[in-house]
Amino acid sequence: QQKVQQSPESLIVPEGGMASLNCTSSDRNVDYFWWYRQHSGKSPKMLMSIFSNGEKEEGRFTVHLNKASLHTSLHIRDSQPSDSALYLCAASIYGSSGNKLIFGIGTLLSVKP
Amino acid sequence: NSKVIQTPRYLVKGQGQKAKMRCIPEKGHPVVFWYQQNKNNEFKFLINFQNQEVLQQIDMTEKRFSAECPSNSPCSLEIQSSEAGDSALYLCASSLPSQNTLYFGAGTRLSVL
Residue B42: its chain A contacts at CB < 8 A? 105
Chain A: closest CA distance from residue B45 (Å): 7
Contact A5, A106 (CB under 8 A): no
pLDDT at B38 over 80: yes
pLDDT at A97 over 70: no
Chain A: closest CA distance from residue B72 (Å): 25
Comparing B44 with A1, the larger pLDDT belongs to B44
Q: Is A61 on the interface with B (CB under 8 A)?
A: no
- Mean residue pLDDT across chain A: 92
Q: Is A103 on the interface with B (CB under 8 A)?
A: yes
pLDDT at B60 over 90: no
Residue B62: its chain A contacts at CB < 8 A? none
Q: Which of B41, B100, B106 sits opposite A99 (nearest CB)?
A: B100
pLDDT at A9: 94
Q: Which of A98, A103, A105 sits opposite B40 (nearest CB)?
A: A105
Residue A86: its chain B contacts at CB < 8 A? 41
Contact A58, A48 (CB under 8 A): yes
Residue A92: its chain B contacts at CB < 8 A? 100
Chain A: closest CA distance from residue B105 (Å): 6
Neighbours of A84 (CB within 10 A): 18
Provide the CA A95 distance to its chain's centre, in angstroms: 22
Neighbours of B62 (CB within 10 A): 10
Q: Which of B55, B100, B105 sits opposite A43 (nearest CB)?
A: B105
pLDDT at A13: 98
Asked which of A13-22, A51-60, A99-108 is least confident by mean pLDDT, the reply is A99-108
Residue B1 banded pLDDT, cuts 50, 70, 90? low
Of A101, A104, A94, A96, give the one whose Cα is nearest residue A74. Answer: A104
- Range with top average pLDDT, A10-19, A32-41, B53-62: A10-19
- Mean residue pLDDT across chain B: 90
- Range with top average pLDDT, A37-51, B3-17, B60-74: B3-17
Mean pLDDT along residues A47-70: 93
Neighbours of B26 (CB within 10 A): 16
Of A85, A20, A77, A89, give the one whose Cα is nearest residue A50. Answer: A89
Alpha helices in chain A (DSSP H): none
- Range with top average pLDDT, B33-47, B56-70, B92-106: B33-47
B35/A105 Cβ within 8 A: no
CA atoms of B88 and B110, how far apart (whole Å): 5
Asked which of A9-13, A38-42, A106-110, B4-8 is least confident by mean pLDDT, the reply is A38-42
pLDDT at B61: 62
Asked which of A74-83, A89-98, B80-89 is least confident by mean pLDDT, the reply is A89-98
Q: Is A46 on the interface with B (CB under 8 A)?
A: yes
Mean pLDDT along residues B79-99: 91
B107/A46 Cβ within 8 A: no
Model confidence pLDDT, tens digit, residues B66-85: 999 998 899 999 999 999 99
- What percentage of chain A exceeds 90 in pLDDT? 73
